[in-house]
Amino acid sequence: MLIFVRVVLGAICLTLISCASASTPPSPSPTLSLAPTFSPTQLAPPTSAFVEATPDAPLDVRGTFVYAAGDGSLWLQEPDGDDPRAFVERSTEFIAQMPAFAPDGKSIAYSALLFLSNNALRGDIRIMDAEGRNARVLVRAAQDETVYFYPRWARDGQLLVTHAENLQTTNERAWLAWVNVNGDGKETRVVENARDGDVSPDATRVAFVRYDAATMRYALWVANADGTNQTELVGAETFAAILNPRFSPDGEWLAFGVHGAPQKNLPTVRRNSADECALRIVLVCVAQKASAHAAPGALWRVNLETKKFQALTDVYDDSPVPAWSRNAKSIAIHDFTGIRLIDLARNKIYPLFLQDGGNGGFDWFQK
């Protein structure tokens, strides 16, 4: 029982959920139920001006999506293709999660949480060619209770990873480290008390989450790539959880997922009158959905220069993971409801692949 609780609250508590009520790709039904749960409470009025469920998606959505189905498998999906195809099959030996495309799209890094006979935790970083061949371990956990996860690529080929020890114990520690993919896998430690990092397009900054295991509170930070000049963007006690920060390709914005409505005021991007009209439409729709199912999360973004925030979805997503388009004009979002596309210019959200729901990570490569 102890190991189950630790896994639920530990390395994958924010990335793998029960998919009993969601459809997934053609694979065995998941056997894990790992969703963080929150007591249903009255939600603050949603602030997103983006209209959901626009019927037809734009025709210029290109590239390749990779996502975790929530059962330990990874899948590839072409925006203009048919059924998804398995990239990493579901295994009895490990759970694959948190996939990330290399800058050239030729390989994908992911975290492998191992099933150990002694019920201890251990997690490696693995890499495989995008065609599904040449799988290898890049960073191997040297001992039990060591987990490497959240791999994110820099343009020079280095990989930013989270190194965590003794997850969900009083001795828990986590930090960000750089790993040379073409070297011996040795890590260079850069930011203490940090996890779930991302790298800016110019590789000069990192964004990350600070998590206090004692209080179970989350904060969002940015720093220089060498760990200097650390700056808090969202303080603890603002959201029930913060996850999956992602820099925009132009470096101007940082998108991130949350659980719960904000409990503290955030300076927001000014909306025009058309946005306000759209907001009133969304409020009616969301109020009805929230009364039926008080889902826990939403996607936000913050302008890194002005420090102004904008809610991109309303509070009914479940651990949303964003992936920016190459031109920074749209964001693909994945959660247990599937894959959708947020059009930042039109304030629209298009359903793309609602059959491809799941949780555990998501990325999008475009040439």
pLDDT at 290 over 60: no
Q: According to the model, what pLDDT value does residue 46 have? A: 52
Map out the domains of the chain with their CATH numbers. Answer: 2-365 (2.120.10.30)
Q: According to the model, what pLDDT value does residue 221 have? A: 98
Q: According to the model, what pLDDT value does residue 65 have? A: 97
pLDDT at 340 over 50: yes
Q: According to the model, what pLDDT value does residue 45 have? A: 52
d(CA 186, CA 60): 40
Q: Is 2 exposed, middle or buried (0-12, 13-18, 19+ CB in 10 A)?
A: exposed
Q: According to the model, what pLDDT value does residue 6 have? A: 41
**128-146 pLDDT tens trace:** 999 999 999 999 998 999 9
Q: Which residue has the higher pLDDT, 29 or 315?
A: 315
Q: How big is the CA angle at 349 (ends 258 and 222), to the nearest 5 degrees?
A: 35
pLDDT band at 274 (very low <50, low <70, confident <90, very high): very low
Cβ proximity of 335 and 16 under 8 Å: no
Most confident of 16-20, 98-102, 139-143: 98-102
List all residues 6 or more positions away from 239 whose beta carbon is below 8 Å from its beta carbon.
218, 258, 259, 260, 261, 262, 263
- Sheet of 338-343: strand order equals 321-324, 330-335, 338-343, 348-353
Percent of the chain with pLDDT over 90: 60
The residue type of 89 is: E
pLDDT at 244 over 50: yes
Mean pLDDT of the chain: 82
pLDDT at 291 over 80: no
pLDDT band at 28 (very low <50, low <70, confident <90, very high): very low
- Residue 306 has what DSSP assignment? T
pLDDT at 179 over 70: yes
Q: According to the model, what pLDDT value does residue 202 have? A: 96
The mean per-residue pLDDT over the stretch 145-163 comes to: 95
pLDDT band at 185 (very low <50, low <70, confident <90, very high): confident
Q: According to the model, what pLDDT value does residue 238 have? A: 94
Q: According to the model, what pLDDT value does residue 44 have? A: 55
At 100, give phi and psi (nearest 5°): -145, 125
pLDDT at 205 over 70: yes
pLDDT band at 47 (very low <50, low <70, confident <90, very high): low
Weakest-pLDDT range from 85-99, 220-234, 280-294, 351-365 = 280-294
Q: CA-CA-CA-CA torsion for 214, 299, 63, 152, nearest 10 degrees?
A: -20
Nearest to residue 74, comparing CAs of 64, 84, 62, 89?
89
pLDDT band at 279 (very low <50, low <70, confident <90, very high): very low
**55-86 pLDDT tens trace:** 777 767 899 999 999 999 999 999 877 799 99
The mean per-residue pLDDT over the stretch 40-52 comes to: 63
pLDDT at 307 over 60: yes
Q: Which residue has the higher pLDDT, 321 or 38?
A: 321
List all residues 6 or more positions away from 215 whose beta carbon is below 8 Å from its beta carbon.
236
pLDDT band at 21 (very low <50, low <70, confident <90, very high): very low
Q: According to the model, what pLDDT value does residue 49 have? A: 83
pLDDT at 200 over 80: yes
Percent of the chain with pLDDT over 70: 79
Cβ proximity of 72 and 13 under 8 Å: no
Q: According to the model, what pLDDT value does residue 117 have? A: 83
The mean per-residue pLDDT over the stretch 189-194 comes to: 97
